[in-house]
Amino acid sequence: MSEKWLSGKVVENRHWTDTLFSLRVEGAAPRFRAGQFVRIALDIDGQRVARAFSFVNPPGDPTLEFYGVIVPEGPLSPRLARLRPGDALYVASNPAGFLVLSEVPDAETLWLVATGTGLAPFLSILRTPEPWQRFRHVVVVHGARHARELTYRELIAQTPAKYVTLVSRESAPGSLGGRIPAAIADGRLEAAAGVALRPENSHVMLCGNPQMLKDAQAVLAARGMRKHRRRTPGHITVESFW
């Protein structure tokens, strides 16, 4: 079945760093749930080239927002980064994905754990009322190579979430060093968040680098936490970006 496309227009392309950008798009607003993604596309040399992007905006906002990184050799992301206000962007009509709170069982603490642009779906979730109604604590954990890549700090700081950052390739005041799985394993993440990460009290949503998802699930398994499935409830929900 051929994909149905909505025709949007770029209204802003914010560049945070040489490689990170946020696109705001108007005129195409499919219905979705916070945490979901949609395919966005450009016509390149007569071919429609599409990739999945998570919504950063909350549902109901007529302006869509997407957060991307330039993969230099990638077919689409360098071109998205070059879009200017007024340029066209196609948005598929069928958002999808299970990284949504309706798939997450009740818990005392919700951990939203991301590397890089994997933060995007959590920003949408943080901008809805549900996390604050359902969870006593919400902890946002963002890991990046460099401190300048810890984007959307102001937005996160405006929410009641506890916010822990990790920087892996330089030392950065106010951030933990290294990678997320190591900080889980040695207790630094819990110490920084000020809450326990245990199967009895926590649900963890993971998004971003597939190797991080794998390594984080391994250290969480050592704590007795396992993937959540509708038929076999657990403590971990994941979405891989590649």
Ligand X SMILES: NC(=O)c1ccc[n+]([C@@H]2O[C@H](COP(=O)([O-])OP(=O)(O)OC[C@H]3O[C@@H](n4cnc5c(N)ncnc54)[C@H](OP(=O)(O)O)[C@@H]3O)[C@@H](O)[C@H]2O)c1
Residues at the contact surface with ligand X, assessed by CB under 6 A: 19, 69, 71-72, 115-117, 143-146, 149, 168-169, 179-181, 209, 211-212, 215
Q: 21 exposed, middle or buried (CB, 10 Å; 0-12, 13-18, 19+)? A: buried
Cβ-based nearer residue to ligand X, 40 or 212: 212
> Can you tell me the distance from the alpha carbon of 22 to that of 6, in angstroms, rounded to the nearest whole number?
19
Nearest to 89 by CA among 27, 41, 45: 41
Element (DSSP H or E) covering residue 213: helix 210-221
Cβ-based nearer residue to ligand FAD, 204 or 213: 213
Residue where the block lists tokens 């199967």: 199
Q: Which stretch in 75-83, 86-94, 123-131, 192-200 sits in contact with ligand FAD by CB under 6 A?
A: 75-83
**Interaction with ligand FAD in 12-41: which residues (CB under 6 A)?**
37
Cβ-based nearer residue to ligand X, 104 or 141: 141
> Can you tell me the distance from the alpha carbon of 29 to that of 63, in angstroms, rounded to the nearest whole number?
7
Considering only 68, 131, 143, 181, the residue that binds ligand FAD (CB under 6 A) is 68
Residues that bind ligand FAD (CB under 6 A): 37, 51-54, 66-69, 71, 74-77, 97, 116-117, 120, 239, 241-242
